[in-house]
Amino acid sequence: MRLRTRGRFRWRWLGAALLVLLPFLSPEERGDVALATFVDEPAPIVARVVPVETTPGAPAPSFSPGALDGFLVVRTERFVVRAEPELTAYAGRLALEAERGFDVLQRLLGPAPGPSVELRVVSNARELAAVAPPGSPPPGWATAVMYGDHDLIVLSLTSPRSGRFIPLFAVLRHELAHLVVDRITGGRPIPRWFDEGIALWAAGDDYAGRQEELVNAAMRDHLLPLESIERGYPSDPEQVPLAYAQSLDVVSYLVDRHGRAALRQALREVGEGTPFRQAFLNAFGTTVARLEEQWRQDIRVWYRWLPALVSGTTLWALISFLLAWAYLRQRRRRQALYAEWDREEVAAERAAAPAEPKVWPDPDPKPWGGIRPTHGQGPPGGKPEAGKGPIVYHDGRYHTLH
Protein backbone atom coordinates (compact mmCIF):
# COMPACT_ATOMS: atom_id res chain seq x y z
CA MET A 1 0.00 0.00 0.00
CA ARG A 2 2.79 2.41 0.88
CA LEU A 3 4.61 1.73 -2.39
CA ARG A 4 1.52 2.52 -4.44
CA THR A 5 0.91 5.70 -2.45
CA ARG A 6 4.47 6.90 -3.00
CA GLY A 7 4.25 6.10 -6.71
CA ARG A 8 1.08 8.12 -7.13
CA PHE A 9 2.67 10.96 -5.19
CA ARG A 10 5.73 11.08 -7.45
CA TRP A 11 3.76 11.02 -10.71
CA ARG A 12 1.23 13.56 -9.47
CA TRP A 13 3.79 16.17 -8.54
CA LEU A 14 6.02 15.47 -11.51
CA GLY A 15 3.02 16.24 -13.70
CA ALA A 16 2.33 19.41 -11.73
CA ALA A 17 5.92 20.58 -12.19
CA LEU A 18 5.72 19.94 -15.94
CA LEU A 19 2.47 21.92 -16.16
CA VAL A 20 4.17 24.82 -14.40
CA LEU A 21 7.09 24.70 -16.84
CA LEU A 22 5.02 24.15 -19.99
CA PRO A 23 3.92 27.79 -20.62
CA PHE A 24 7.55 28.92 -20.57
CA LEU A 25 8.89 26.44 -23.09
CA SER A 26 9.56 27.85 -26.54
CA PRO A 27 6.91 26.79 -29.06
CA GLU A 28 7.92 24.35 -31.73
CA GLU A 29 8.29 25.84 -35.17
CA ARG A 30 5.56 24.80 -37.56
CA GLY A 31 5.91 23.95 -41.23
CA ASP A 32 6.90 21.03 -43.36
CA VAL A 33 10.16 22.30 -44.81
CA ALA A 34 12.77 19.56 -44.75
CA LEU A 35 15.63 22.06 -44.40
CA ALA A 36 16.53 23.43 -40.99
CA THR A 37 14.54 26.34 -39.61
CA PHE A 38 15.36 28.61 -36.71
CA VAL A 39 12.99 30.19 -34.20
CA ASP A 40 15.64 32.48 -32.71
CA GLU A 41 15.47 34.84 -35.66
CA PRO A 42 12.32 36.54 -36.99
CA ALA A 43 11.66 36.60 -40.69
CA PRO A 44 11.43 40.30 -41.63
CA ILE A 45 8.74 40.69 -44.25
CA VAL A 46 7.60 43.80 -46.08
CA ALA A 47 3.90 44.18 -46.75
CA ARG A 48 3.81 46.34 -49.85
CA VAL A 49 6.18 48.14 -52.15
CA VAL A 50 5.06 51.34 -53.86
CA PRO A 51 4.44 50.42 -57.50
CA VAL A 52 6.75 51.86 -60.07
CA GLU A 53 5.36 54.79 -62.08
CA THR A 54 4.63 53.95 -65.68
CA THR A 55 3.01 55.57 -68.64
CA PRO A 56 -0.74 55.95 -68.01
CA GLY A 57 -2.61 52.99 -69.39
CA ALA A 58 0.50 50.83 -69.81
CA PRO A 59 0.94 47.93 -67.39
CA ALA A 60 4.07 47.99 -65.25
CA PRO A 61 6.52 45.21 -66.03
CA SER A 62 6.74 42.55 -63.36
CA PHE A 63 10.33 41.45 -64.09
CA SER A 64 13.42 42.51 -65.97
CA PRO A 65 14.18 40.83 -69.30
CA GLY A 66 16.03 37.57 -68.79
CA ALA A 67 15.53 37.58 -65.00
CA LEU A 68 13.48 34.37 -65.03
CA ASP A 69 15.41 32.46 -67.70
CA GLY A 70 15.89 28.84 -66.71
CA PHE A 71 13.28 28.93 -63.92
CA LEU A 72 11.01 25.88 -63.68
CA VAL A 73 7.24 26.44 -63.61
CA VAL A 74 4.56 24.68 -61.55
CA ARG A 75 0.90 25.63 -62.05
CA THR A 76 -2.18 25.03 -59.91
CA GLU A 77 -5.70 26.41 -60.07
CA ARG A 78 -4.82 29.77 -58.54
CA PHE A 79 -1.01 29.86 -58.38
CA VAL A 80 1.99 29.80 -60.67
CA VAL A 81 5.29 28.94 -58.99
CA ARG A 82 8.54 29.93 -60.71
CA ALA A 83 11.62 28.62 -58.94
CA GLU A 84 15.32 28.19 -59.59
CA PRO A 85 16.14 24.74 -61.02
CA GLU A 86 17.83 23.58 -57.80
CA LEU A 87 14.58 24.23 -55.91
CA THR A 88 12.55 21.67 -57.85
CA ALA A 89 11.71 19.74 -54.68
CA TYR A 90 10.13 22.83 -53.14
CA ALA A 91 8.17 24.18 -56.10
CA GLY A 92 5.36 21.59 -56.03
CA ARG A 93 5.06 21.57 -52.27
CA LEU A 94 4.99 25.36 -52.20
CA ALA A 95 2.15 25.44 -54.74
CA LEU A 96 0.05 22.99 -52.72
CA GLU A 97 0.73 24.88 -49.49
CA ALA A 98 -0.31 28.12 -51.21
CA GLU A 99 -3.64 26.62 -52.31
CA ARG A 100 -4.38 25.28 -48.85
CA GLY A 101 -3.26 28.42 -47.03
CA PHE A 102 -5.24 30.72 -49.32
CA ASP A 103 -8.47 28.83 -48.51
CA VAL A 104 -7.79 29.04 -44.77
CA LEU A 105 -7.12 32.78 -44.93
CA GLN A 106 -10.28 33.47 -46.92
CA ARG A 107 -12.35 31.66 -44.31
CA LEU A 108 -10.66 33.73 -41.64
CA LEU A 109 -10.66 37.20 -43.24
CA GLY A 110 -13.24 37.05 -46.01
CA PRO A 111 -13.50 36.15 -49.71
CA ALA A 112 -10.69 37.51 -51.89
CA PRO A 113 -11.34 36.63 -55.55
CA GLY A 114 -8.90 37.68 -58.22
CA PRO A 115 -6.52 36.47 -60.91
CA SER A 116 -3.91 33.80 -60.37
CA VAL A 117 -0.96 34.64 -58.16
CA GLU A 118 2.66 34.19 -59.14
CA LEU A 119 5.25 32.99 -56.63
CA ARG A 120 8.93 33.51 -57.47
CA VAL A 121 11.36 31.59 -55.29
CA VAL A 122 15.12 32.06 -55.09
CA SER A 123 17.68 30.45 -52.81
CA ASN A 124 19.54 33.63 -51.83
CA ALA A 125 17.97 36.83 -50.53
CA ARG A 126 20.41 38.91 -52.60
CA GLU A 127 18.65 37.60 -55.72
CA LEU A 128 15.23 38.94 -54.72
CA ALA A 129 15.82 42.29 -56.43
CA ALA A 130 16.50 40.52 -59.74
CA VAL A 131 13.11 38.78 -59.77
CA ALA A 132 11.16 41.76 -58.33
CA PRO A 133 9.41 44.30 -60.57
CA PRO A 134 11.89 46.85 -61.96
CA GLY A 135 12.07 50.00 -59.86
CA SER A 136 10.54 48.30 -56.80
CA PRO A 137 13.36 46.41 -55.08
CA PRO A 138 12.66 44.80 -51.71
CA PRO A 139 14.32 46.18 -48.55
CA GLY A 140 17.73 44.73 -47.86
CA TRP A 141 16.52 42.95 -44.73
CA ALA A 142 13.42 41.35 -46.32
CA THR A 143 13.02 37.66 -47.07
CA ALA A 144 9.74 38.04 -48.96
CA VAL A 145 7.71 40.80 -50.59
CA MET A 146 4.10 40.98 -51.77
CA TYR A 147 3.36 43.18 -54.81
CA GLY A 148 -0.41 43.57 -54.85
CA ASP A 149 -0.54 45.45 -58.16
CA HIS A 150 1.16 42.53 -59.88
CA ASP A 151 -0.49 39.69 -57.89
CA LEU A 152 3.06 38.66 -57.17
CA ILE A 153 4.99 37.31 -54.18
CA VAL A 154 8.78 36.91 -54.24
CA LEU A 155 10.44 34.71 -51.61
CA SER A 156 13.95 33.75 -50.58
CA LEU A 157 14.89 30.46 -49.00
CA THR A 158 17.52 32.05 -46.72
CA SER A 159 17.78 35.07 -44.46
CA PRO A 160 19.65 38.11 -45.84
CA ARG A 161 21.20 38.78 -42.43
CA SER A 162 22.50 35.37 -41.42
CA GLY A 163 22.26 33.25 -44.57
CA ARG A 164 20.38 30.58 -42.63
CA PHE A 165 17.27 28.82 -43.86
CA ILE A 166 13.93 30.41 -42.94
CA PRO A 167 10.56 28.77 -42.17
CA LEU A 168 9.48 29.06 -45.78
CA PHE A 169 5.86 27.96 -45.43
CA ALA A 170 5.28 30.31 -42.48
CA VAL A 171 6.66 33.18 -44.57
CA LEU A 172 4.41 32.17 -47.46
CA ARG A 173 1.31 32.20 -45.21
CA HIS A 174 2.26 35.66 -44.01
CA GLU A 175 2.53 37.01 -47.56
CA LEU A 176 -0.69 35.30 -48.61
CA ALA A 177 -2.42 37.06 -45.71
CA HIS A 178 -1.19 40.37 -47.12
CA LEU A 179 -2.56 39.37 -50.51
CA VAL A 180 -5.99 38.51 -49.08
CA VAL A 181 -6.14 41.81 -47.16
CA ASP A 182 -5.07 43.71 -50.28
CA ARG A 183 -7.84 42.13 -52.34
CA ILE A 184 -10.53 42.63 -49.69
CA THR A 185 -9.64 46.31 -49.28
CA GLY A 186 -9.20 46.82 -53.02
CA GLY A 187 -5.65 48.04 -52.42
CA ARG A 188 -6.88 51.06 -50.48
CA PRO A 189 -4.50 52.38 -47.83
CA ILE A 190 -4.63 51.04 -44.29
CA PRO A 191 -2.10 51.68 -41.50
CA ARG A 192 1.02 49.61 -41.68
CA TRP A 193 0.62 48.34 -38.10
CA PHE A 194 -2.90 47.14 -38.93
CA ASP A 195 -1.83 45.44 -42.15
CA GLU A 196 1.22 43.70 -40.64
CA GLY A 197 -0.63 42.81 -37.45
CA ILE A 198 -3.40 41.09 -39.41
CA ALA A 199 -0.87 39.18 -41.53
CA LEU A 200 1.03 37.97 -38.45
CA TRP A 201 -2.16 37.05 -36.59
CA ALA A 202 -3.87 35.33 -39.54
CA ALA A 203 -0.73 33.36 -40.44
CA GLY A 204 -0.51 32.02 -36.88
CA ASP A 205 2.82 33.64 -36.13
CA ASP A 206 4.40 31.82 -33.19
CA TYR A 207 7.86 33.37 -33.04
CA ALA A 208 8.63 33.52 -29.30
CA GLY A 209 11.11 36.38 -29.72
CA ARG A 210 8.32 38.86 -30.53
CA GLN A 211 6.96 38.57 -27.01
CA GLU A 212 10.43 39.13 -25.62
CA GLU A 213 10.82 42.27 -27.73
CA LEU A 214 7.50 43.57 -26.45
CA VAL A 215 8.29 42.82 -22.80
CA ASN A 216 11.70 44.50 -22.98
CA ALA A 217 10.27 47.62 -24.61
CA ALA A 218 7.40 47.82 -22.11
CA MET A 219 9.76 47.46 -19.17
CA ARG A 220 11.88 50.38 -20.45
CA ASP A 221 8.92 52.47 -21.70
CA HIS A 222 10.29 52.26 -25.25
CA LEU A 223 7.10 51.21 -27.04
CA LEU A 224 6.67 52.80 -30.46
CA PRO A 225 3.69 55.14 -31.03
CA LEU A 226 1.31 53.60 -33.53
CA GLU A 227 1.43 56.73 -35.65
CA SER A 228 5.17 56.15 -36.13
CA ILE A 229 4.33 52.94 -37.97
CA GLU A 230 1.27 54.38 -39.70
CA ARG A 231 2.80 54.56 -43.18
CA GLY A 232 5.81 52.30 -42.82
CA TYR A 233 8.13 50.58 -40.42
CA PRO A 234 11.10 52.36 -38.84
CA SER A 235 14.14 52.90 -41.03
CA ASP A 236 16.31 51.63 -38.16
CA PRO A 237 16.55 47.83 -38.63
CA GLU A 238 16.98 47.43 -34.86
CA GLN A 239 13.44 48.73 -34.29
CA VAL A 240 11.77 46.61 -36.97
CA PRO A 241 11.32 43.52 -34.71
CA LEU A 242 9.61 45.70 -32.09
CA ALA A 243 7.31 47.18 -34.74
CA TYR A 244 6.29 43.68 -35.81
CA ALA A 245 5.74 42.62 -32.18
CA GLN A 246 3.56 45.66 -31.43
CA SER A 247 1.52 45.22 -34.60
CA LEU A 248 0.76 41.60 -33.77
CA ASP A 249 -0.09 42.36 -30.15
CA VAL A 250 -2.43 45.26 -30.99
CA VAL A 251 -4.36 43.24 -33.58
CA SER A 252 -4.57 40.26 -31.21
CA TYR A 253 -5.87 42.64 -28.54
CA LEU A 254 -8.55 43.88 -30.95
CA VAL A 255 -9.67 40.37 -31.91
CA ASP A 256 -9.75 39.21 -28.29
CA ARG A 257 -11.95 42.14 -27.26
CA HIS A 258 -14.21 42.48 -30.32
CA GLY A 259 -14.03 39.18 -32.21
CA ARG A 260 -13.16 38.16 -35.75
CA ALA A 261 -16.41 39.46 -37.20
CA ALA A 262 -15.44 43.04 -36.31
CA LEU A 263 -12.09 42.60 -38.04
CA ARG A 264 -13.75 41.30 -41.19
CA GLN A 265 -16.24 44.18 -41.07
CA ALA A 266 -13.45 46.77 -40.90
CA LEU A 267 -11.68 45.28 -43.93
CA ARG A 268 -14.92 44.98 -45.87
CA GLU A 269 -15.93 48.60 -45.23
CA VAL A 270 -12.52 49.83 -46.35
CA GLY A 271 -12.98 47.81 -49.54
CA GLU A 272 -16.36 49.49 -50.05
CA GLY A 273 -14.72 52.91 -49.94
CA THR A 274 -15.12 53.93 -46.30
CA PRO A 275 -12.04 55.76 -44.96
CA PHE A 276 -10.05 53.56 -42.62
CA ARG A 277 -10.62 55.54 -39.40
CA GLN A 278 -14.37 55.62 -39.95
CA ALA A 279 -14.45 51.92 -40.81
CA PHE A 280 -12.37 51.22 -37.69
CA LEU A 281 -14.83 53.18 -35.53
CA ASN A 282 -17.83 51.43 -37.09
CA ALA A 283 -16.36 47.95 -36.59
CA PHE A 284 -14.71 48.27 -33.18
CA GLY A 285 -16.70 51.08 -31.55
CA THR A 286 -13.57 53.05 -30.64
CA THR A 287 -10.96 55.27 -32.21
CA VAL A 288 -7.39 54.29 -32.94
CA ALA A 289 -6.14 56.75 -30.30
CA ARG A 290 -8.44 55.29 -27.65
CA LEU A 291 -7.43 51.76 -28.65
CA GLU A 292 -3.75 52.60 -28.23
CA GLU A 293 -4.40 54.14 -24.82
CA GLN A 294 -6.27 51.07 -23.58
CA TRP A 295 -3.66 48.72 -25.04
CA ARG A 296 -0.82 50.58 -23.33
CA GLN A 297 -2.67 50.43 -20.00
CA ASP A 298 -2.96 46.66 -20.30
CA ILE A 299 0.71 46.45 -21.27
CA ARG A 300 1.68 48.32 -18.10
CA VAL A 301 -0.43 46.02 -15.92
CA TRP A 302 0.85 42.76 -17.40
CA TYR A 303 4.41 43.33 -18.52
CA ARG A 304 5.69 45.20 -15.49
CA TRP A 305 5.49 42.17 -13.20
CA LEU A 306 5.47 39.31 -15.71
CA PRO A 307 9.26 39.18 -16.29
CA ALA A 308 9.90 38.84 -12.56
CA LEU A 309 7.23 36.15 -12.31
CA VAL A 310 8.64 33.99 -15.09
CA SER A 311 12.32 34.54 -14.32
CA GLY A 312 14.41 31.45 -13.66
CA THR A 313 14.89 32.27 -9.98
CA THR A 314 11.18 32.80 -9.38
CA LEU A 315 10.24 29.71 -11.34
CA TRP A 316 12.57 27.43 -9.39
CA ALA A 317 11.49 29.03 -6.12
CA LEU A 318 7.89 28.24 -7.02
CA ILE A 319 8.76 24.64 -7.87
CA SER A 320 10.71 24.29 -4.60
CA PHE A 321 7.76 25.64 -2.65
CA LEU A 322 5.39 23.20 -4.36
CA LEU A 323 7.69 20.27 -3.63
CA ALA A 324 8.10 21.30 0.03
CA TRP A 325 4.36 21.76 0.44
CA ALA A 326 3.76 18.37 -1.18
CA TYR A 327 6.32 16.72 1.12
CA LEU A 328 4.73 18.16 4.28
CA ARG A 329 1.27 17.23 3.12
CA GLN A 330 2.37 13.70 2.32
CA ARG A 331 4.13 13.46 5.68
CA ARG A 332 0.92 14.37 7.52
CA ARG A 333 -0.99 11.80 5.50
CA ARG A 334 1.64 9.17 6.28
CA GLN A 335 1.49 9.95 10.03
CA ALA A 336 -2.29 9.68 9.99
CA LEU A 337 -2.00 6.38 8.10
CA TYR A 338 0.48 5.01 10.64
CA ALA A 339 -1.81 6.03 13.53
CA GLU A 340 -4.71 4.26 11.83
CA TRP A 341 -2.59 1.13 11.43
CA ASP A 342 -1.70 1.27 15.16
CA ARG A 343 -5.37 1.48 16.11
CA GLU A 344 -6.18 -1.44 13.85
CA GLU A 345 -3.39 -3.53 15.40
CA VAL A 346 -4.58 -2.79 18.95
CA ALA A 347 -8.14 -3.73 18.00
CA ALA A 348 -6.91 -6.95 16.38
CA GLU A 349 -4.88 -7.90 19.47
CA ARG A 350 -7.87 -7.33 21.71
CA ALA A 351 -10.05 -9.45 19.48
CA ALA A 352 -7.52 -12.32 19.60
CA ALA A 353 -7.04 -12.25 23.44
CA PRO A 354 -8.90 -15.00 25.55
CA ALA A 355 -12.09 -13.90 27.23
CA GLU A 356 -11.83 -13.17 31.00
CA PRO A 357 -14.28 -15.03 33.38
CA LYS A 358 -17.36 -13.11 34.13
CA VAL A 359 -17.71 -11.92 37.75
CA TRP A 360 -21.24 -11.50 38.94
CA PRO A 361 -21.80 -8.73 41.53
CA ASP A 362 -22.98 -9.48 45.07
CA PRO A 363 -26.73 -8.70 45.18
CA ASP A 364 -26.32 -7.44 48.76
CA PRO A 365 -22.76 -6.12 49.10
CA LYS A 366 -21.40 -5.72 52.65
CA PRO A 367 -18.87 -3.12 53.66
CA TRP A 368 -16.93 -5.85 55.54
CA GLY A 369 -16.78 -8.19 52.50
CA GLY A 370 -19.48 -10.64 53.75
CA ILE A 371 -17.48 -11.69 56.81
CA ARG A 372 -17.62 -10.02 60.24
CA PRO A 373 -16.58 -10.79 63.75
CA THR A 374 -19.09 -11.96 66.30
CA HIS A 375 -19.09 -8.73 68.17
CA GLY A 376 -20.47 -6.84 65.17
CA GLN A 377 -24.00 -6.38 64.00
CA GLY A 378 -25.91 -9.69 64.04
CA PRO A 379 -28.52 -11.11 61.77
CA PRO A 380 -31.79 -9.30 61.29
CA GLY A 381 -33.98 -9.45 64.35
CA GLY A 382 -31.29 -10.30 66.91
CA LYS A 383 -27.69 -10.37 68.04
CA PRO A 384 -25.27 -13.21 67.50
CA GLU A 385 -24.89 -15.57 70.37
CA ALA A 386 -21.95 -14.95 72.66
CA GLY A 387 -18.98 -17.21 72.36
CA LYS A 388 -19.72 -18.21 68.78
CA GLY A 389 -17.17 -17.92 65.92
CA PRO A 390 -17.27 -15.55 62.87
CA ILE A 391 -20.54 -15.19 61.05
CA VAL A 392 -20.84 -15.43 57.22
CA TYR A 393 -23.77 -14.20 55.16
CA HIS A 394 -24.77 -16.60 52.35
CA ASP A 395 -28.00 -17.16 50.39
CA GLY A 396 -29.85 -14.64 52.55
CA ARG A 397 -28.84 -16.25 55.84
CA TYR A 398 -26.04 -15.82 58.40
CA HIS A 399 -23.86 -18.82 59.21
CA THR A 400 -21.45 -19.29 62.08
CA LEU A 401 -18.03 -20.58 61.03
CA HIS A 402 -16.64 -23.41 63.19
Q: What is the pLDDT of residues 329-352, one digit of tens each?
A: 767 776 777 777 778 777 777 777
Is 299 domain-assigned? yes
The predicted pLDDT at position 309 comes to 54
Same domain membership, residue 211 and residue 179: no
| 293 has pLDDT over 50 | yes
Same domain membership, residue 282 and residue 174: no
**Mean pLDDT of the 386-394 span:** 59
Same domain membership, residue 279 and residue 163: no
* Full residue range of the structural domain in which residue 272 is found: 189-333
The angle at the Cα of 196, spanning 254 to 96, to the nearest 5 degrees, equals 110
Same domain membership, residue 179 and residue 102: yes
Instruction: Find the distance separating the first CA and the last CA of the chain, reported in whole Å.
Output: 69
**Mean pLDDT of the 37-57 span:** 43
SS3 272: coil
At 115-136, the pLDDT tens digits run: 999 999 998 888 888 899 988 8
Q: pLDDT-derived band of residue 361, with 50, 70 and 90 as boundaries?
A: low
Same domain membership, residue 124 and residue 142: yes
Same domain membership, residue 41 and residue 161: yes
pTM: 0.63
Please tell me the distance from the alpha carbon of residue 23 to that of residue 318, in angstroms, as a whole number. 14
| 27 has pLDDT over 50 | no
| 9 has pLDDT over 70 | no
SS3 165: strand
The predicted pLDDT at position 193 comes to 93
The predicted pLDDT at position 88 comes to 85
Which of 151, 166, 184 terminates a domain? The answer is: 184
How distant, in Å, are the alpha carbons of 48, 159, 401, 402 from that of 94? 21, 18, 124, 127
